[in-house]
Amino acid sequence: MWKVGDLVVRPSYGRDVCFVITRIDLEAGMVELKGLDVRLVADAPFSDLMKITEDDFVDYRRAQAKIEQDTIRLVQLRRQADRDKNIYRSERSRHPYDFFERPGRVLHLDGDGTYLEKCIQTYRRLGVRAVGKNLDESSIAERIPSLLEQYAPDILVITGHDSVMRKQRSESEMMHVRNYRNSEHFVRAVRAARKYERSLDELVIFAGACQSHYEALLDAGANFASSPDRIMIHALDPVFVAEKVAFTPIGETIDIYAIVQSTITGTEGLGGLESRGKYRMGLPRSRY
């Protein structure tokens, strides 16, 4: 009765997340699911699936679009407020020079091409210079040195899919990366990036996805990571973190609370360490 591409919800989880079926195991009576808007891949039995109606899907999409648009609007308002209080504002009034802006550059490596395209579109809307590469989570670590050499980013985003491999785990089991779908791959990728650039201020790294091993990612060298409470994060949360880093002046330490509040998920899904921003202003603007 099920086929790849079907849109479903899971009654056992309150039908709160919309999934698409990506793989079916008829013998085991199981399917692999991918969240449409949250960075989660999960296995589920046929008995825990409910197909959503076209009307329900339209309502779901409308609600998700409102959440995303409201968050983008808040980011834009916050950035305008930051500009209004920026020290360079007074410099503009005293000097005839035409200043120009250089926000930080982003290299976004994502295990899911659909999520990546959505992220790249949002970077553009927010005026962030970003390059994206769709790579399988298991191959990111090997590709990082050459990609960092090629693109020389200020901010590196490493994400894709992740999850705790079994619902019921003890506290001690939750601390082992082997019990996560892709956290170990993300940890290896962060270590590879830190081997290339050790300074947390020269290269700012966000790493992780839904339910990722937050502590292991920070220990490996990430500035920001998911997921402190092992919850699902929104597909666009890494973009909002990167945007805040890209537009925080180089001489300032990023307000960790503000950066997390710029996301859809909040402090339960993302966190990090004190880090410097990557935004610079220059003068004069070239006439050519």
- Is 263 within a domain? yes
Range of the domain at 57: 1-76
- The pair phi, psi for residue 161, each rounded to 5°, is -115, 155
CATH code, 62: 2.30.30.30
pLDDT of residue 158: 98
- What does pLDDT average to over the chain? 89
pLDDT higher than 60, residue 109: yes
Shared-domain flag, residues 71 and 107: no
pTM, entire model:
0.85
In a domain, residue 96? The reply is no
pLDDT(53) > 70: yes
> pLDDT-derived band of residue 281, with 50, 70 and 90 as boundaries?
confident
Residue type, 207: A
Lowest mean pLDDT among 120-124, 174-178, 181-185: 174-178
Confidence of residue 96 (pLDDT cuts 50, 70, 90): low
Q: What is the dihedral of CA 54, 55, 59, 61, to 10 degrees?
A: 20
Give the mean model confidence (pLDDT) for residues 248-271: 86
Distances (CA, A) of 84 to 21, 90, 200: 47, 10, 28
What is the total count of domains within the chain?
A: 2
Instruction: Verify that 228 and 277 share a domain, yes or no.
Output: yes
The burial of 203, by beta-carbon neighbours within 10 Å (0-12 exposed, 13-18 middle, 19 or more buried), is given as buried
Name residue, tokens 């990090």.
Answer: 272
pLDDT at 85 over 70: no
Phi, then psi, of 157 in degrees rounded to 5: -110, 125
Same domain, yes or no: 134 and 196: yes
**Has residue 237 been placed in a domain?**
yes
**Residue 84 reports pLDDT greater than 70:** no
Note the pLDDT tens digit of each residue in 126-177: 999 999 999 999 999 999 999 999 999 999 999 999 988 876 677 788 889 9
Give tens-digit pLDDT for 36-47.
888 878 889 999
Are 29 and 118 in a shared domain?
A: no
Separation between Cα atoms, residue 243 and residue 79, nearest integer Å: 10
pLDDT in tens, 204-244: 999 999 999 999 999 999 999 999 999 989 889 999 999 99
Tell me the pairing of strands 224-225 and 271-272: antiparallel
Same domain, yes or no: 42 and 131: no
